[in-house]
Each structure stands twice: as C-alpha cells, then as structure tokens.
Amino acid sequence: MYGNNSILNMGEAKRRKNLGISPRETTEDIKLPQLDKKAIQQKVRSTLYKYPIIPFLFYGGAILILIGGLFLAFKFFNIA
C-alpha cells in the first residue's frame, strides 16, 4: 500500500510514459456559434409587430403571478 504511493501522485503524462502508452491526443477547442444579434432583434420586432397583444399577455401573466404570490403569502402567514 505504501509502496504504490508514488504511482498515486504521478501525473497522467508520466504514468502513460511509464506504461508505454502513447500520449493522449489533443482535442480541438469547442467553437461556439456566433449569434447574429441584429437578425434576432429583427425577428423579435417582426413578431411583435405581427402580434401586438403578446406584451399585454406577458404583463398580465406577471401581474397575476404577483397577485397570486401575495394571496398565498397572506394565506400562509395568516395576515389579515
């Protein structure tokens, strides 16, 4: 157990060299796709112009969630 301590502390490159294994292949860097902000902005604007009710639905949903949260808080803490 104590004789194998040097093997446990050895880095992977040294271990591969001692075992006679070829070095690990280098991997290519991952290239993230570039976002075209202007195209995305154009799509969002065209959708909002096509369906102008969307912002009202989002705001209405947010207000309902806030009112529901307040109601549940009042009910949970028995405030009234």
Per-domain residue ranges for the chain? 35-80
3-state secondary structure of 17: helix
Q: Is 12:24 a contact under the CB 8 Å cutoff?
A: yes
Lowest mean pLDDT among 8-12, 19-23, 41-45: 8-12
Q: Is 7:15 a contact under the CB 8 Å cutoff?
A: yes
Which comes out higher in pLDDT, residue 10 or 24?
24
The single-letter DSSP state of residue 20 is: T
Beta strands in 17-75 (DSSP E): none
Per-residue pLDDT reduced to its tens digit, 39-67: 999 999 999 999 999 999 999 999 999 99
Q: Is 74:80 a contact under the CB 8 Å cutoff?
A: yes
The single-letter DSSP state of residue 29 is: P
